[in-house]
Chains A and B, each alone.
Chain A
Amino acid sequence: MAARRARRGRTPWATGCGLAALLLLGGCTQAGEMAEPAPGPSYSAGPITEAEYLSIVRAVHTCMADEGYDVEEVERRTDGVTYGFQFSGSGTGDGSSSGQQDLVACEERYGLMAAEIAFQDQVALSGAEREAVYAQLVECLDGAGVTGITSSSTAADVGRAIEQLDRAGVDVTDATTCWNQYATQLFGSSG
């Protein structure tokens, strides 16, 4: 787990909005309001490079730090394609919004959802490279007890196989780990 944590932007002093804070600091933000959006990268549609996508993830990361959360480092996820970060704490808001709501608000500022979908679809493998990675997925799933998957199986086929195993009471933790590792490379945003 990443050790470095950042904490930037508004200090905890500005969160209480109590009389003392008003007297000492001269005011604070209104309840539930996020800080003014800083200029930064944004995405709406079209091709996107990894650097552009990563700059949006980093902008969201900074936004969450500015909201008072203890954010861990931005890291490439286990899918080998996308980037993300985890966080803790309750932020410096007035408590009316949760961590996930604040994260979504930060993401919406920079268009992360659309950027992430577009980037995954752009980098999905094809040809011989895809066949090689598909063989790795099949081997991984086989080791996790999921059989019957071939290079012509669709994402839905793999999902169905894992789900049937789960319904049979088998622990599918390893199978979902396989899926997380290879699905994005093979199926883009639909995997």
Chain B
Amino acid sequence: MRHSTGRIRSGLAALVLAAVTVLVAAAPAQAALPSGCALYPSAPYSSGGRIYYSATATCGTSNPVISRVEAGLQRSGTLVANVIQTSGGTTTLRASGSSGCSAGTYRTYAWANDKNTNATEGATAYKSLSC
């Protein structure tokens, strides 16, 4: 009797341990950028046969923690070009790029990270661009 109670206890303990392991593994890897920081993707625009896109992340003058900004150009929801800027930690970081233009529906998609790997992502409105 004592033997079977012990087996039940050890079995339950293993289940709890496994559940905790799953919970820890499933925890979000990243939180949002800290308060006071912001990500500003800029709407893409066309000029001279190219489409220009950019994104800026800021964290206020006294909080130089922005470490990475990526701006991506989406065409009909698919990433067709991207550009990345990195820093050891700064208050404002901008990534801008251009891509060959063919008429379609575009938007800028952006990612920003701080030094602690906190991250925020977002997008501009969709734009119907001709070239």
Contact = CB atoms under 8 A, between A and B. Distances in A.
B120 A87 contact: yes
Interface string B1-22: 0000000000000010011011
A3 B36 CA distance: 10
Given A12-B23, A113-B126, A1 B38 contact: yes
Interface stretch (A29-37, A40-48, A156-164): A156-164
A176 interface: yes
Interface string A176-189: 11011001100001
Contacts of B126: 112-113, 116-117, 189
A1 B125 contact: no
Interface residues of B, number: 55
Contacts, number: 152
Interface stretch (A72-80, A129-137, A141-149): A72-80
Interface in B104-131: 105, 109, 118-130
Interface of A: 1, 3, 5, 12-13, 15-16, 18-21, 23-24, 68, 70, 72, 77-79, 81-82, 84-90, 92, 99-100, 103-104, 107-108, 112-113, 116-117, 120, 155-156, 158-160, 162-163, 166, 172-173, 176-177, 179-180, 183-184, 189-191
19 contacts: A70-B32, A79-B125, A88-B32, A88-B33, A100-B72, A100-B74, A103-B123, A117-B127, A117-B128, A156-B47, A159-B47, A160-B48, A163-B98, A176-B42, A179-B43, A180-B42, A184-B125, A189-B127, A190-B128
